[in-house]
């Protein structure tokens, strides 16, 4: 991270109450950036509140559906760099409520990109897409040339928003780059239906962990602090190399694991061997997904700062403290 790049730099972060957004806001504040966080809902216990960051940034309450608000925020705070992380991120919710997911993930994206296009001071936009944008592929790992072929609601929302980002870059030269990562994990994830926080909460409370799927799904898991490093590195690179606009970058440990294997690793770190409750109810899930990060390594010189198990240890420490404090 180049601290001189971020010092006093006006930065907008959407989705700052989420897992990645909270850690990103913290890192930007530590780098002396002038952070503006767009927040729709109050989330008790989120990292943004828990860490005391609310006292050190500008908080704007509003929704990505409000085009006028987006343009006002970018203009009045003279925003230079935008990190668009806000999204509905739960596959099960997308299955039950597809239209709200599409409105958040697709409508929110194009409205923000349009506001950026119409804001002359915006010089870098980092958009958080997902490996789900690729859909199912015959050949793995995914690289950035793999076609975007989402089929089910959540995957489609990521494919569409990803394509819209590329359209803005190609058509109007909007300075957007796209990240595609696997499943983030780390302290601060309060979506308890996800495998890492849900399993940790159960084990730390002496309860039976619940596996929503049949346990065989293979995924990339990516520690949140490495994700934040990657996002900031990408914004700095785009500022120096404008020809990067419209490009996408995968970030991954390139160490895919099954749900069962991940739970085993968590139990090993905790020294437990609790039985599992297997629901086998996950529907329309892609059996295996994992990414090649070769482009990020070769183009950006990117490498993760943490090993997978080190990220797990840091995550476990966060949840121990969080639950000890009497989490909401």
Quick one: average pLDDT of 297-309? 96
Q: Is residue 78 part of a domain?
A: yes
Q: Is residue 266 part of a domain?
A: no
User: What is the gyration radius of the CA atoms in the chain, in angstroms?
Assistant: 19
Mind telling me the catalytic residues?
154
What's the mean pLDDT when you consider all of the chain? 94
- pLDDT computed for residue 200 by the predictor: 97
pLDDT in tens, 123-162: 999 999 999 999 998 899 999 999 999 999 999 999 999 9
Quick one: average pLDDT of 310-325? 94
DSSP readout, 68-136? HHHHHHHHHTT--EEEE------HHHHHH-HHHHHIIIIIHHHHHHHHHHT-TT--EEEEE--GGGGBS
Q: Is residue 282 part of a domain?
A: no
User: CB-based burial of residue 97 (10 Å sphere; 0-12 exposed, 13-18 middle, 19+ buried)?
Assistant: middle
Would the pLDDT of 112 be above 90?
yes
- pLDDT computed for residue 288 by the predictor: 93
- pLDDT computed for residue 306 by the predictor: 97
Q: Is residue 207 part of a domain?
A: no
Q: Is residue 109 part of a domain?
A: yes
Count of structural domains, the chain: 1
Specify the higher pLDDT residue, 301 or 40: 301
Would the pLDDT of 67 be above 90?
yes
- pLDDT computed for residue 327 by the predictor: 57
Number of C-beta neighbours around residue 5 at 10 A: 15
pLDDT in tens, 212-256: 999 999 999 999 999 999 999 999 999 999 999 999 999 999 999
Would the pLDDT of 33 be above 80?
yes
State what percent of residues in the chain have pLDDT above 70. Answer: 99
- pLDDT computed for residue 282 by the predictor: 77
Q: Is residue 275 part of a domain?
A: no
Does the pTM exceed 0.85? yes
Q: Is residue 273 part of a domain?
A: no
Give how far Cα 224 sits from Cα of 78, 101, 192, 246, 261, Å: 28, 23, 16, 24, 20
- Residue given tokens 């309860």 in the structure block: 207
Q: Is residue 265 part of a domain?
A: no
Residues 6+ apart with CB under 8 A from 322: 45, 50, 187
State what percent of residues in the chain have pLDDT above 90. Answer: 86
Helix (H) or strand (E) holding 213: none
Quick one: average pLDDT of 9-23? 95
Phi, psi of 31 (to 5 degrees): -85, 5
Owning domain of residue 40: 3-186+221-255+289-305
Q: What is the CATH number of the domain that holds 160?
A: 3.40.50.720
């Amino acid at each position: 991270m180049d601290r001189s790049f971020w010092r006093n730099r006006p930065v907008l972060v959407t989705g700052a109450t989420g897992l990645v957004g909270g850690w990103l806001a913290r890192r930007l504040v530590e780098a002396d950036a002038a952070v503006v966080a767009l927040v729709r809902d109050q989330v008790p216990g989120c990292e943004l509140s828990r860490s005391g960051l609310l006292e050190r940034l500008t908080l704007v309450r509003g929704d990505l559906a409000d085009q006028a608000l987006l343009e006002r925020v970018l203009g009045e705070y003279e925003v230079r760099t935008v990190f668009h992380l806000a999204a509905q991120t739960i596959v099960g919710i997308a299955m039950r409520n597809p239209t709200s997911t599409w409105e958040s993930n697709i409508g929110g994206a194009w409205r923000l990109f349009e506001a950026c296009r119409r804001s002359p001071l915006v010089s870098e936009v980092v958009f958080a897409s997902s490996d789900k944008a690729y859909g199912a592929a015959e050949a793995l790992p995914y690289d950035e040339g793999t076609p975007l072929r989402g089929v089910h609601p959540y995957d489609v929302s990521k494919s569409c928003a990803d394509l819209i980002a590329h359209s803005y870059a190609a058509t109007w030269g909007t300075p957007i780059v796209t990240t595609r990562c696997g499943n983030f994990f780390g302290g601060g994830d309060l979506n308890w239906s996800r495998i890492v926080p849900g399993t940790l909460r159960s084990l730390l409370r002496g309860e039976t962990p619940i596996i929503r799927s049949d346990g065989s799904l293979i995924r990339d898991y990516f520690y949140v602090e490495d994700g934040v490093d990657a996002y900031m590195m990408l914004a700095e690179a785009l500022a120096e190399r404008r020809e990067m606009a419209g490009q996408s970058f995968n970030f991954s440990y390139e160490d895919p694991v099954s749900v069962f294997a991940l739970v085993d690793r968590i139990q090993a770190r905790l020294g437990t061997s609790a039985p599992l409750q297997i629901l086998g109810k996950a529907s329309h899930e892609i059996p295996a997904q994992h990414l090649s990060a070769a482009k990020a390594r070769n183009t950006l010189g990117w490498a993760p700062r943490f090993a997978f198990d080190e990220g797990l240890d840091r995550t476990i420490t966060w949840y121990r403290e969080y639950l000890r404090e009497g989490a909401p």
